[in-house]
Structure 1
Amino acid sequence: MPYAQIGPIAVQLPDRIETNQQLQDFFPNWDLKLIEDKTGIQQRHIAAEGETSSDLAVAATRKLFEQHQIDPASIDFVLFCTQTPDYPLPTTSCLIQDRLGLSTDCGALDFNLGCSGFVYGLAMADGLIQSGTAKRILLLTAETYSKFIDDDDRSLRTIFGDGAAATLIDASDQQSLWGFKFGSDGSGGDMLLVGDGGARPVEDSIQPRHRKRWKSRLYMDGPSLINFTVEAIPRLVEQILSANGLKDDDIGYYLMHQATWKMLDQLRTRMEVEPERLPIELAKIGNTVSCTIPILIHQMRQKESWNQESNNMLVGFGVGLSWAGCLWKDLYR
C-alpha cells in the first residue's frame, strides 16, 4: 500500500519586512521590548498592497519546482489551505492550477483552516494516496492575515506575518506519517475571528468574546487561546503517544504551530519537555498561521542537529477552535 511522504518544501515570504524597531519609532508609546519578550517575534514579512495568498503560493511552488527539478505535469492534486483566499469564489486552488500550468486532470481543493491546517492537509493527502486517487500532491499553505489588521493594533500587528509554503507530498512504500488525531470545539469560535466578509449579516455574526479594543477586522482573545492550548495540547500529545504505544522518550522533536514564544514556552513547561525538543523559530517571520509547521520543518532540515531517524510529532492548534497532531519520521533524502 502506498503512503504519503513529506518531500521538499519551499518557502515564499513577502519582500517587505516590518521590524519591531520600525514600529517603536512610529509608535513611541508602545512597549516593544515587553511585547517582544512575550511573543519572541522581532520582525514580520508583510504582503504588499494587491499581493494575495495565491501570489505567495504560486511563487513558493515555482521555487519548489525549480530547486528540485519537479515536472509540473507530475502533480495530480492541489490542496490549498488558506483563510485569506483571493475570492469567495471561484476556488483559489483552481486559479493556482491554471497559473502554474498544471494538467487539467489535476484535482484542486481549498480548505479553510488556520493553525491546524497543515496537519489536516497531510491527513487528506495521505488518504488520497492510500486510496490510489493521487500519487503526487502539492500541499500549499498561504496566509495574508495582515490585510485584516489595523495599523494601530499593537496586539496583532506585532504577532502575525504573511507567507506561503509549498510542500511536495509523494507516494512511498514506507509509512512515515501515522497516528493522526483531530479535535474541534466551535464554542471557542469567538476567540479568534473575522466577523465580516461572509454570507451571514454582520449583525448576526459571531461576536468577539470580550470587548473589541482595536479597529482591526481580525479579533483575537490571546489569554483564552493560551488557556485552551495549555489544556488541550498536552492531552492531545498524550492521546497520540498512548494510542501508538510510545512514550515521551520515543519522540525526537515536537514540531508545533509557532504561535508565540509565551504560548510554546508554557507548553514546554506543562509537558516537561527540554527546549531543544520543542523548538521555537519565529523571531524573524512571526506567526504565519497555517504556514508555521512546514516553515519549521524546512528550517529544522537545515540544522546539523536534525536527526532523520527520530520519530517526531507534528501539532497544530488555534482558530476554530481546531487542533490536530500526528507522528512523522523524515524519510525524505
Structure 2
Amino acid sequence: MDAYIKHISYYLPSEVLTNEDIVAQFPEWDSEKIIQKIGVVSRNITRKDQFTSDISVEALNNLCREHNIKKSDIDFLLVCTQSPDYFLPTTACIVQDRAGLSTSCGAIDINQGCSGFIYGLSLAKGLVIAGIAKNVVLITAETYSKHIHALDKGNRSIFGDAAAATLISNNGEYRLGEFSLGTDGKGFENLIVKNGAMKNHKTIDDNFPNDNNLFMNGPEIFNFTAKAVPGLINDNLRKNNETIDTISQFIFHQANTFMLDYLRKKINIPKEKFLIDMQNYGNTVSSTIPIALKNRLDLQIKDDKILLAGFGVGYSWGSVVIYNK
C-alpha cells in the first residue's frame, strides 16, 4: 500500500503587516532592504484574540469545503505547532471538537517547526500504510507573531502567521516516496522561546525582548542550514534513486530568499527548478512548504517528481520526494 497527498488548503489571517508598516515604526529600517535580504513584502498576522486552534479550524474547513471532503471520513488529525493554545490539552483535541470531527478520530499534536510538514507527512504515511487510518489530515499552524516582541524588527520582518491542512490518504495526486530525517539538538538554544503558551501569555517586561519572546541566532541558524541541507538533499535523492536532473521541482522551507538562493547555488539546482514563494506570506514556519506546493498545484503544472525539504528549529531537518500518480 502507498500513501498520497490528496488535497491541500490553507488559511491566512486577515490582518496584514507590510514592510511600510514596519518602516513606519522603525524609520532606520528600509523596505527595499527587507525585500532584498528576506524576500518579503507583506505577511499575515493573527488578531490578539485569534489563536492556533482558530486558524487550524479555518484551514480544515477550507479543505473540506474546497474539495468536498466529508468530515466524517477523516479518521486521524495531526496538528503541527510550536504555538499551542495551551501547554495542555493538545490543540488537536480542541480542533477536533470545534471542527466537528468524529469522536472516533485520533488527534495528536506534533511540536515541530520548520521541518514539521515533512515530519508530519512521514507520520501520516505510517498511519495509512499500517492501516491505522484511511484519511489523515495534517494541519500545520503557527502564530509566531505572538512569540515576537513588538520591538524586534528583525523577526517581525521575517515571520508570518498561517495554517495549512493537507489530506493524506491511500489514493491521491502525489505519492509519498522515501523520507530522510535528521536531528541535532546541540543547537536547540539558537531558535527558542524559553517561556510560553499562547492564551495565557505572561510578560516580564514589555520594554524589551525577554524569555517570553522568540530568540533567533541568525548566523548560527544559517551556518547549520549551510552544513546540513546539502547532505540532506543528496541523501534523499539517493534513497529515492533520483538525481537533480530527474527532479522536476524543488520546494524548500521558505526561510528567507537569501538563504534559499545560497542553498540553491551550493547544491547546483537550476533556478527554473527551484521554487521561491514567500513574498506575500513571510516565513510561516511549518506551513511554508504546503502553501508553496498548493500554489504550485493550482497552476495546473504537472511536475512528475517534486523534492520537498524542511529544516530549522531544533535543529531538525527532513526531505521526501513526491511522485505524480
TM-score by length of 1: 0.91
Secondary structure, in 3 states, of the residue corresponding to 2:84?
coil
Secondary structure, in 3 states, of the residue corresponding to 1:44?
strand
Secondary structure, in 3 states, of the residue corresponding to 1:78?
strand
Secondary structure, in 3 states, of the residue corresponding to 2:262?
helix
Match of 1:248 in 2: 244
Give the whole-Å Cα distance in 2 for the aligned partners of 1:162 and 1:275: 27
Secondary structure, in 3 states, of the residue corresponding to 1:125?
helix
Quick one: which of 254, 267, 274 aligns to 1:258? 254
Question: Bigger CA drift: 267-276 or 11-20?
Answer: 267-276
State the 1:316 CA deviation: 0.4
Match of 2:205 in 1: none
Which 4+ runs in 1 deviate beyond 3 A? 213-216
Amino acid of the structure 2 residue aligned with 1:260: N
Match of 1:285 in 2: 281
Secondary structure, in 3 states, of the residue corresponding to 2:170?
strand
Secondary structure, in 3 states, of the residue corresponding to 2:128?
helix
Give the whole-Å Cα distance in 2 for the aligned partners of 1:77 and 1:323: 24
Secondary structure, in 3 states, of the residue corresponding to 1:105?
coil
Assess if the C-alpha contact under 8 Å between 2:74 and 2:101 holds in 1: yes
Secondary structure, in 3 states, of the residue corresponding to 1:158?
helix
Q: Deviation digits for residues 144-167 of structure 1, max 9, x if unmatched?
A: 000011111111000000010011
Assess if the C-alpha contact under 8 Å between 1:6 and 1:330 holds in 2: no
Give RMSD over aligned pairs.
1.6
Give the whole-Å Cα distance in 1 for the aligned partners of 2:214 and 2:40: 19
Match of 2:202 in 1: none
Q: Does residue 296 of structure 2 align to residue 300 of structure 1?
A: yes
TM-score by length of 2: 0.93
Give the whole-Å Cα distance in 2 for the aligned partners of 1:25 and 1:155: 14
Amino acid of the structure 1 residue aligned with 2:222: I
Assess if the C-alpha contact under 8 Å between 1:144 and 1:162 holds in 2: yes
Corresponding residue pairs, total: 314
Give the whole-Å Cα distance in 1 for the aligned partners of 2:310 and 2:323: 17
State the 1:25 CA deviation: 2.1
Ranges in structure 1 where 5+ consecutive residues have no aligned partner: 199-212
Give the whole-Å Cα distance in 2 for the aligned partners of 1:123 and 1:71: 24
Secondary structure, in 3 states, of the residue corresponding to 2:137?
strand
Match of 2:133 in 1: 134
**Identical-residue share of aligned pairs (%):** 43
Match of 2:310 in 1: 316
Question: Bigger CA drift: 29-38 or 157-166?
Answer: 29-38
Amino acid of the structure 2 residue aligned with 1:132: G
Alpha-carbon distance change, 150 to 244 in structure 1, aligned in 2, over 3 angstroms = same
Give the whole-Å Cα distance in 2 for the aligned partners of 1:272 and 1:178: 22
Q: Does residue 117 of structure 2 align to residue 121 of structure 1?
A: no
Secondary structure, in 3 states, of the residue corresponding to 1:176?
strand
Question: Bigger CA drift: 116-125 or 166-175?
Answer: 166-175
Matches within 5 A, 1:12-91: 12-91=11-90
Match of 1:146 in 2: 145
Assess if the C-alpha contact under 8 Å between 2:7 and 2:166 holds in 1: yes
Amino acid of the structure 2 residue aligned with 1:100: A
Alpha-carbon distance change, 250 to 153 in structure 1, aligned in 2, over 3 angstroms = same
Alpha-carbon distance change, 132 to 175 in structure 1, aligned in 2, over 3 angstroms = farther
Matches within 5 A, 1:193-204: 193-197=192-196
Amino acid of the structure 1 residue aligned with 2:184: D
State the 1:50 CA deviation: 1.4
Q: Deviation digits for residues 85-118 of structure 1, max 9, x if unmatched?
A: 1111111111111111111111001010000000
Alpha-carbon distance change, 264 to 173 in structure 1, aligned in 2, over 3 angstroms = closer
Give the whole-Å Cα distance in 1 for the aligned partners of 2:174 and 2:278: 29
Q: Deviation digits for residues 173-225 of structure 1, max 9, x if unmatched?
A: 99811120100000010110001138xxxxxxxxxxxxxx9447100011111
Q: Does residue 99 of structure 2 align to residue 100 of structure 1?
A: yes
Match of 1:325 in 2: 319
Assess if the C-alpha contact under 8 Å between 2:6 and 2:174 holds in 1: no
Secondary structure, in 3 states, of the residue corresponding to 2:13?
coil
Give the whole-Å Cα distance in 2 for the aligned partners of 1:238 and 1:253: 15
